[in-house]
Structure formats: C-alpha cells, structure tokens
C-alpha cells in the first residue's frame, strides 16, 4: 500500500508543480513561447500545445486519469522545452551552481518514471 501512496505522491508532485507553469501561461499568455518558436523558424500555433503539456496533462496526472499517457505528454513537452529554451545552455551552470536545465530535466525524468511504473491505484483509473 505504501508503494501506491508513493506513486500518488510522485504524480501529485510532478503534476501539481508543473500546473503552476501552465496557469501562468493561461493568465499571462504564451507570447514568450511564440517568440521562442519564431526564433527557431517554427510556426507560432505550435505554442498552444503548451496548454496540453502544462495544463491538461498535469491535471490528468494529479487525478490519475490515463497517468502513463499524461506522463508521456509531459515528458515530450519538457524535451521540447529543453531543446528550444535551454538548447544553448545545456552545459552551463546557473547562478547557484546547479545545472541550468535541472528543473525541466527533473520534470522530464520524473514523468518518464511515472510512464514506466504507472500511476498506481489511487485516483481515477479509466
């Protein structure tokens, strides 16, 4: 039973914390995302996918709805974020001495772990 609570806690942590990023984009728009896409010669409409990766998938993860799929969506979202937003900083440290991509990389690795182990029995299991 403790294993199930551990899976729930992992889902809650990844989904809950990433949801703040999505809410920020709902409140303040995705202009920065669109500008980043334009800088890489990509169409701006792709930026709306961030709402799927940072709002819908985290909510699904929190409630336990299709956790493996939601986790894979988040992992893809983070891989794209790392490539586009941190591509030039892959081998740099931030001002505190941490790896510059550690935050999005932690979301990516944790969501891959959820995709591999499953979301557990606590939550919706449709």
Q: Which positions ≥6 away from 11 have C-beta within 8 Å?
A: 61, 62, 64, 67, 114, 119, 120, 123
Q: Which residue has the higher pLDDT, 30 or 79?
A: 79
> What pLDDT, on a 0 to 100 scale, did the predictor assign at position 4?
94
Q: What pTM was computed for the model?
A: 0.91
**pLDDT, tens digit, for every residue of 19-44?**
999 999 999 988 888 888 988 888 98
Which tokens is 93 given?
């440290």
**94, 88 in Cβ contact below 8 A?**
no
pLDDT one-digit tens code per residue, 40-58: 888 988 889 999 999 999 9
The pLDDT confidence band at residue 125, using thresholds 50, 70 and 90, is: low
Task: Write phi, then psi, for 99 (nearest 5 degrees).
Answer: -65, 135
CA distance 3 to 10: 11
Mean pLDDT along residues 50-79: 96
Q: What angle do CA 5, 6, 12 make, to 5 degrees?
A: 85
Cβ–Cβ contacts within 10 Å for residue 1, how many?
7
The pLDDT-based confidence of 126 (bands split at 50, 70, 90) is low
């Amino acid at each position: 039973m403790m294993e199930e609570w551990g899976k729930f806690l992992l889902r809650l942590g990844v989904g809950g914390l990433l949801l703040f990023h999505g809410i920020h984009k709902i409140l303040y728009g995705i202009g920065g995302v669109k500008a980043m896409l334009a800088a890489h010669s990509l169409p701006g409409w792709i930026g709306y996918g961030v709402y799927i990766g940072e709002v819908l998938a985290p909510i699904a993860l929190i409630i336990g709805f299709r956790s493996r799929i939601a986790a894979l969506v988040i992992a893809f979202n983070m891989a794209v974020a790392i490539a586009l937003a941190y591509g030039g900083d892959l081998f740099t440290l931030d001002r505190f001495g941490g790896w510059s991509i550690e935050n999005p990389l932690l979301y990516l690795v944790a969501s891959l772990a959820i995709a591999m182990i499953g979301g557990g029995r606590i939550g919706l299991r449709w």
